[in-house]
Structure 1
Amino acid sequence: MTYMAIKHLHMTAAGLSILFFIIRAFWSVSGSALLQNRFVRIAPHVIDTVLLVCGLALAGMLGAAAGQPWLITKIVLLVAYIVVGSYAIKRGKTAQSRAWAAVLAVAIFVYIVGVALRHSPGSWFF
């Protein structure tokens, strides 16, 4: 697979990932039973696996061993997004705490997109 094909698959998976996250976070905050649907529980893991595998492939193609600061920033922020996102979907004790976690997770995601597009740890700011 070529670099551009993997990059487009990665970007598509990222778009689907945040879309599914926002929907699931809304359902979590509103207490919807739809959150327990089998497809809803499985699809995000499949999408996120594709996202991660493509990201690792792209990092390998870019020579991630060179320690590119923007790539390291993306990885650190990805871990933060996963932790905060888990509070938004299931670990948050109250609807309000899940809502705040969802807002923070989306903000982290937007920052990650800026890092990816600008190849700068400063994201949209530098």
Structure 2
Amino acid sequence: MSYLAVKYLHVGCVVLSGLGFALRGFWMLRSSPLLQARLTRRLPHLLDSLLLGSALWLAWTSGQYPLAQDWLSAKLGGLLVYIVCGALALKRCRHRNGRILFLFLAVLAYAYIVSVALTRQVLPWL
């Protein structure tokens, strides 16, 4: 598979993952039973596995690795924040206000990751 095809797969997965998270966050705020649907619980894992696999393939093919590239390290750090805040927002936090806070923080982390990817700068807003 060509580098460009995998890059487009990766970017598509990023967009779908972000939209899916936003939709699940909306459902969480509305206390929708759709949040507990089987497809809603399974599809993000499949999508995120494709996302991670394509990221690893791109890093290996391009020779750019976290810890060697500061912007990739920043994306990895942002990803960890996104995962923790997303889990707290959608599953782990017991209080509604806490869920809303962690949802907001997860969306900020997602925006940070995307902006770092687009600019290849650790502080993309500067």
Question: Fold conserved (TM > 0.5)?
Answer: yes
Tell me how far apart the structure 1 counterparts of residues 73 and 61 of structure 2 sit (CA, whole Å): 15
Amino acid corresponding to residue 84 of structure 1 in structure 2:
C
Task: Using the aligned pairs only, state the percent identity.
Answer: 40
Q: CA deviation at 1:27?
A: 1.4
The answer as to 2:15 corresponding to 1:18 is no
> Is the Cα contact below 8 Å between 1:28 and 1:90 reproduced in 2?
no
Describe the superposition over 1:58-85 as per-residue Cα deviations: whole angstroms up to 9, x where unpaired.
1112212470100111111101100000
Matching residue of 2:117: 116
> Is the Cα contact below 8 Å between 1:29 and 1:96 reproduced in 2?
no
Q: CA deviation at 1:48?
A: 0.5
> Is the Cα contact below 8 Å between 1:25 and 1:98 reproduced in 2?
no
Q: CA deviation at 1:96?
A: 1.7
Gaps of 5+ in 1: none
SS of 1:64's equivalent in the other structure is coil
Q: CA RMSD in A?
A: 1.2
Correspondence 1:86-101 to 2 at 5 A: 86-101=87-102
With normalisation by structure 1, the TM-score equals 0.94
Q: Which one scores higher on RCO, CA 8 angstroms, separation ≥ 6?
A: 1
With normalisation by structure 2, the TM-score equals 0.94
Tell me how far apart the structure 1 counterparts of residues 18 and 93 of structure 2 sit (CA, whole Å): 19
Gaps of 5+ in 2: none
